[in-house]
Amino acid sequence: MMENSEKVKILVIDDELSMRQFLQILLKKDGYDVTTAENGEIALRKLKEENFTVILMDYNMPEAIDGIDLLNELLHTSPRSQVIVITAYASTEQAIKAIELGAVDYVSKPFNVAEIRDIVKKCVASASQMKKNEEPPKTPAAKPDTETRNMPEESGMIAQSPQMKKILELALRIAPTDSTVLITGDSGTGKEVLANFIHKNSGRGDLPWYPINCGAIPENLLESELFGHEKGSFTGAYQTKKGYFEVAGNGTLFLDEIGELGENMQVKLLRVLQERVFTRVGGTEKIPTGVRLIAATNKNLQEQIKKGKFREDLYFRLNVIELYIPPLAERRADIMPLAEMFLDQFSKKTGTNFRFSDEILDFFNRYNFPGNVRELKNIIERGTIFARDGLVSEISIEKATSSQNRQPSGGNPFEIDLSHNVDLDEILSGIEKRYIVEALKKTNYNRHDTCVLLNLTERMLRYRMSKLGIRDEKE
């Protein structure tokens, strides 16, 4: 949590009692001190009585103070609070306006529980880091070879296959350097885990680590997120905001989905890599940066260059060292060790001594894992739900995978089959995945048309595709 081991204080503002109660219960389980307010007037009164690290506010409440006015009042009254806007209308314009005014992020009702918990966690970490890192630390020295290194197993990296052994050997070799690294591979192969492994084994291991998904942040907001903005740089910019390049100090930035960057941001990122300085939005001061950059993509950037979608000069700046992680199906020696690691994690998490049956290896040898390591972890988790007396057998694993991949008969996507225990979350995820895949096919993988067809914002489509492991097959 925050310093002095005090509980982080969070204020929830929503006119719906059920929503206030739900968020209060959810966030209290995560160890936060949660206060609620049913309208803006009560919220502002509470803000005068105590400080809150994070504020979650409903943008659309039937009160005298509308969303814009309330947000302005909150930022004036408590400028150090991290404000998250909740909207029921999934309006991109509304969300962009809120972030331009000073909100740090937004979520749309109905929201994904994991998503809002992750956003709150990042806001708490950001608030803590900004408090501790007002001045960038001195450039760190690389760890000496004699110092104990962060072991791959402790980082979630398993290297039984020859391919992964070579990758981790190279990762350990380049970790102490300042070289920019480009990690490529399919979705779910573990690119972020490998990037964090490099960070932990570098001289920066005790310094800030910030993973940023470039595909999940709207293009017109990404510049402010990365480089920050000056007070007064645009309407509603009531305070100077530091971006990730600044708050990270001499730590590591991990830019995932780097292939999603637009042309304008590619130019700005290239300049930072060349000159090692940046300017905040609306500012003129050149701010030096000692941050190390690790990027990742599941796209073929050389093909993107040929199509004119990615700058060749930026590609060569990023691709000082490239690490390609092959699909899990091409490194089967890693499957069982990974499965054992995940099973051990779920055993510790639930307090149950889970174990695999003798025949489980045959199933893993037959299955191709299109979702790679991420899918393997999900399968193991679902398998523990169907386990009997802690035994995760081929039958429990097959039940888990069939609940995800079962095709409903009769063309009815909502046909109910309760002949055995089911995982409702997985069934709903399976339905959601099929709708998104079919919509992508129907629109010839045009994301804008897909968003219109499914009534989603592009941000939410990207998030759900990433969460469900859906690839844009046209690219």
| pLDDT, tens digit, 9 for 90 and up, residues 282-337 | 889 999 999 999 999 999 999 999 999 999 999 999 988 899 999 999 999 999 99
**pLDDT value at residue 157:** 76
pLDDT of 465 above 50? yes
Mean pLDDT lowest for which of 128-137, 183-192, 279-288?
128-137
- If 0-12 CB within 10 Å is exposed, 13-18 middle and 19+ buried, where does residue 99 land? buried
Written as six digits, the tokens of 250 are: 């001499």
Written as six digits, the tokens of 25 are: 């219960």
Mean pLDDT lowest for which of 86-95, 347-356, 364-373?
86-95
Is 343 or 88 the better-scoring residue by pLDDT?
A: 343
pLDDT band at 92 (very low <50, low <70, confident <90, very high): low
Residue among 183, 176, 241, 173 at smallest CA distance from 211: 183
Q: Alpha-carbon torsion 217, 220, 226, 230, what sign?
A: negative
pLDDT of 209 above 50? yes
What is the CATH architecture of 156-326?
A: 3-Layer(aba) Sandwich (3.40)
Is the backbone peptide bond immediately before 62 cis, with ω within 30 degrees of 0? no
424-475 is a CATH 1.10.10 domain: yes
How is the chain split into domains, by residue range?
A: 3-132, 156-326, 336-405, 424-475
**DSSP for residue 111:** P
The CATH code that applies to domain 336-405 is: 1.10.8.60
Residue among 301, 396, 378, 371 at smallest CA distance from 339: 378
Amino acid 143 reads K
Same fold, 3-132 and 156-326: yes
Is 74 or 63 the better-scoring residue by pLDDT?
A: 74
pLDDT of 133 above 80? no
Per residue in 405-435, pLDDT tens? 444 433 454 556 565 566 676 677 778 888 8
pLDDT of 358 above 90? no
What is the CATH architecture of 3-132?
A: 3-Layer(aba) Sandwich (3.40)
8 Å CB contact between 183 and 195: yes
Written as six digits, the tokens of 72 are: 């302005």
Mean pLDDT lowest for which of 114-128, 246-260, 277-291, 338-352?
114-128
Is 239 or 148 the better-scoring residue by pLDDT?
A: 239
The pTM of this model reads 0.58
Q: Which secondary-structure segment (H or E) carries 262?
A: none
Per residue in 220-249, pLDDT tens? 788 888 998 888 777 666 788 889 999 988
Is 351 or 154 the better-scoring residue by pLDDT?
A: 351
